[in-house]
């Protein structure tokens, strides 16, 4: 909604250095959870203290330079420890130091992405960020310039780099000539490439970001300046036909083939296992303006990969419990919304003049069963038992890379030094000490993951069978070196929120059901460690209800569902008369959403809260005057009272 007030025109300011420095780290910041947190926090604190709280006018050039150096170093560290080695057949990686030249295939190698879009964007990344080619060259690795020139001549950069200024079919557009098209891959070019090096990198890139869901179709350009081709058989997060053919070709013609993923999105990558000759795959993610420089160190073994996946990578996206209600196809429309907001209001996110033509809704029918909590719980309940695919049977035929998965160039052994036992109370802090030993022949870091499983009763509180409780990353350990790490969490962290009093104890809020709780050390959300004591069962003799927030001390109560919902509208639609079905662990087979509901009727209680009126968007009153915005005023207004 446009503000009804005018703003005073302020004096223009020079761009603040913080926007550029912090942008170096944003695209891979999620990897911080698996990096040495103390070191990261210290360096990030220095950067923020030096820039965020200091006006640009009093930050000297020397200070800017020093802080930008720290930001560059930090982004390099995050990429070094956050990149995930997904595949490494026959120890193809690390590459030999004798390999000084490589062929870099894939159009995306010439349009390397530093960040996503919307709030995840990185300033000026289309022109000022170092990509994979620059990173390799700076590391002293020569790349096949003829290949790079061909890709740039085919399509010089992305036509759309901002999801907030484009349609989904534009921002998610794919560019790749066919390996069979001699207009691009001439016999001479291919022969010269084989003579240039027996090592091939293939870069796969996907642009995603705020406002635009990734389409369930592929929109791609396969010829220079040609029309956009639509492939309805593959989603934008699947490999394209052209990418698959390219991988097949390099797998046949090169001794060492490494796929590099330049994407912030989970993709479906089953072909990496079925196409012969695909040796390794590194998920580099989005590298900010300079962190691509860490990739050569990872590929040649100067740095040992230690990142872990932060989502489940399935062979097919439609196995997710949220699939039917996701993306453009998952959005429904209220049929009785004429005259309601935002119908008729300008939509400024598409890059073209457009107005909203419906009041939309999305059914979050999957409930808590999102990501690994869906895939692991479904496996625990036998939901995948009848699956048989080219990739495997059961769970192995569904999930390619579990949450928390990542390979290393070395091996580690775990020994449980101390673990909780017996019973526990609701206010306890639980911990496990694990001794990690590098049993391989290369220095590296390991990640120890601790999960819990809470007692579940069919028809009771919905609970995931597997839940991450704590994790710890070691220092870099030399071969034979050991380190003890402590994994610690509060018993309260295992509480479930029971907004429906599903267990029938008369309480709605955060609570622990009585019964047995299982702690398991895992290498990812699916793979248990086999060390003695890696699985621990503890009992809670009596149920625990947490009536107050542990930080504020405020009383915890329902704010969004049932009769106590703020504004009188239950967000789960229970009072809408629409009979919305939610996924339940008690009957995954019967409640898995196969199709979305395209139309619903908006209830009167929700309609009356649609208070938008067109005149509210008029920034000036009839006489041209405007009210002055006063900040910090105490007018007794509250959004909601706890």
| Parts of the chain belonging to CATH 3.40.50.1700 | 83-307
Residues 6+ apart with CB under 8 A from 587: none
C-beta of residue 268 within 8 angstroms of C-beta of residue 237: yes
Q: What SS3 state is found at 325?
A: helix
Q: Report the range out of 119-128, 146-155, 631-640 with the highest average pLDDT.
A: 146-155
Task: Please state, in angstroms and rounded to a whole number, the distance separating the CA atoms of residues 266 and 309.
Answer: 9
Residue 4 has pLDDT above 90, yes or no: no
Which of the four pLDDT bands, split at 50, 70 and 90, describes residue 41?
low
Token pair for residue 139?
């590391």
Q: What's the confidence (pLDDT) of residue 611?
A: 75
Report the percent of the chain where pLDDT is more than 90: 76
User: What are the start-end ranges of the H helices in 548-592?
Assistant: 588-591
Instruction: Kindly report the CATH number that applies to the domain delimited by 83-307.
Output: 3.40.50.1700
**Are 365 and 580 in contact, with CB atoms under 8 Å apart?**
yes
Mean pLDDT of 601-605: 93
Which position has the higher pLDDT, 480 or 66? Answer: 480
b/e 200-223 (16+ beta carbons within 10 angstroms → b): bbbbbbbbbbebbbbbbbbbbbbe
Which residue intervals of the chain bear CATH 2.60.40.10? 407-546
Instruction: Tell me how crowded residue 424 is: count the other CB atoms within 10 A of its CB.
Output: 19
CB-CB neighbours of 289 under 10 Å: 23
Lowest mean pLDDT among 36-40, 162-166, 172-176, 447-451: 36-40
Question: SS3 of 596, please?
Answer: coil
Q: What does pTM read for this prediction?
A: 0.89
Residue 614 pLDDT greater than 60, yes or no: no
Confidence band for 596, pLDDT divided at 50, 70 and 90: very high
Residue 278 confidence (pLDDT): 98
Render pLDDT for 148-165 as a digit per residue (tens, 0 to 9): 999 999 999 999 998 888
Please check the confidence at residue 11 and state whether its pLDDT lies above 50: no
CATH topology of domain 407-546: Immunoglobulin-like (2.60.40)
Establish how many alpha carbons lie within 13 A of residue 342's alpha carbon, considering only the half-sphere containing its beta carbon: 12
Q: Left if phi > 0, otherwise alpha if psi is -120 to 50, otherwise beta: which for 421?
A: beta
Mean pLDDT of 214-242: 98
Average pLDDT over residues 568-595: 94
- Is the per-residue pLDDT at 433 higher than 50? yes
Per-residue pLDDT tens for 177-218? 999 999 999 999 999 999 999 999 999 999 999 989 999 999
Q: How far is CA 621 from CA 88, 615, 617, 625, 627, in A?
A: 66, 10, 10, 6, 9
């Amino acid at each position: 909604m446009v503000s009804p007030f005018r703003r005073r025109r302020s004096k223009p300011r020079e761009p603040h250095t913080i926007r550029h420095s912090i942008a170096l780290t944003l695209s891979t910041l999620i990897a911080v959870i698996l990096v040495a947190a103390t070191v990261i926090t210290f360096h990030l604190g220095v950067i923020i203290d030096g820039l965020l709280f200091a006006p640009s006018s009093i930050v000297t050039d020397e200070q800017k330079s020093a802080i930008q150096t720290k930001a560059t170093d930090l982004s390099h560290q995050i990429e070094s420890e956050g990149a995930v080695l997904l595949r490494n057949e026959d120890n193809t990686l690390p590459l030999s130091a004798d390999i000084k030249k490589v062929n870099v295939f894939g159009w995306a190698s010439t349009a390397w992405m530093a960040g996503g879009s919307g709030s995840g964007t990185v300033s000026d990344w289309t022109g000022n960020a170092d990509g994979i080619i620059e990173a390799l060259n700076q590391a002293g690795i020569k790349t096949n310039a003829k290949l790079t020139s061909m890709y740039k001549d085919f399509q010089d950069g992305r036509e759309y780099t901002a999801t907030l200024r484009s349609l989904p079919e534009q921002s998610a557009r794919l560019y790749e000539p066919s390996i069979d098209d001699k207009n691009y891959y001439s016999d001479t070019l291919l022969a010269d490439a084989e003579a240039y090096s027996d090592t091939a990198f293939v870069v796969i890139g996907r642009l995603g970001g705020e406002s635009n869901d990734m389409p369930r179709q592929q929109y791609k350009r396969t010829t220079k300046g040609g029309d956009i081709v639509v492939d309805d058989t593959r989603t934008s997060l699947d490999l394209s036909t052209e990418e698959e053919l390219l991988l097949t070709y390099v797998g046949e013609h090169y001794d060492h083939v490494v796929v590099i993923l330049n994407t912030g999105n989970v993709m479906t990558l089953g072909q990496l296992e079925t196409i012969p000759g695909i040796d390794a795959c590194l998920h580099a993610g989005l590298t900010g303006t300079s962190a691509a420089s860490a990739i050569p160190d990872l590929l040649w073994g100067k740095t040992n990969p230690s990142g872990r996946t932060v989502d489940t990578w399935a062979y097919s996206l439609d196995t997710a419990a949220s699939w039917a209600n996701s993306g453009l196809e998952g959005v429904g429309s209220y049929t009785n919304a004429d005259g309601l907001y935002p119908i008729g209001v300008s939509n400024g996110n598409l890059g073209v003049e457009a107005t909203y033509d419906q009041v939309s809704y999305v059914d979050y029918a999957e409930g808590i069963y999102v990501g690994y909590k869906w895939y692991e719980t479904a496996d625990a309940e036998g939901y995948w038992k009848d699956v048989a695919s080219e990739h495997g049977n059961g769970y192995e035929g569904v999930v390619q890379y579990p949450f928390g998965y990542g390979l290393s160039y070395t091996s580690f052994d775990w020994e449980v030094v101390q673990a909780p036992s017996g019973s526990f109370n609701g206010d306890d802090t639980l911990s496990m000490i694990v001794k990690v030993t590098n049993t391989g022949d290369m220095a590296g870091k390991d990640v120890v993951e601790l999960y819990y499983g809470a007692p579940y009763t069919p028809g009771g509180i919905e609970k995931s069978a597997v839940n991450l409780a704590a994790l710890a990353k070691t220092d870099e350990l030399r071969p034979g070196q050991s380190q003890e790490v402590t994994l610690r969490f509060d018993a309260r962290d295992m509480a479930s929120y029971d907004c429906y009093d599903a267990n029938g104890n008369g309480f709605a809020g955060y609570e622990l059901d009585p019964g047995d709780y299982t702690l398991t050390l895992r290498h990812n959300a699916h793979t248990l460690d086999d060390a003695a004591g890696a699985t621990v069962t503890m009992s809670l003799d009596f149920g625990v209800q947490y009536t107050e927030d542990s930080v504020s001390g405020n009383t915890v109560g329902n704010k969004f569902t049932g009769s106590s919902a703020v504004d009188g509208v239950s967000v789960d639609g229970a009072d809408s008369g629409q009979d919305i079905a939610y996924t339940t662990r008690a009957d995954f087979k019967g409640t898995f959403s196969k199709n979305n509901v395209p139309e619903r009727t908006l209830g009167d209680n929700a309609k009356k809260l649609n208070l938008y009126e067109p005149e509210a968007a008029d920034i000036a009153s009839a006489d041209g005057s405007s009210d002055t915005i006063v900040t910090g005023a105490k007018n007794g207004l509250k959004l909601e009272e706890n």
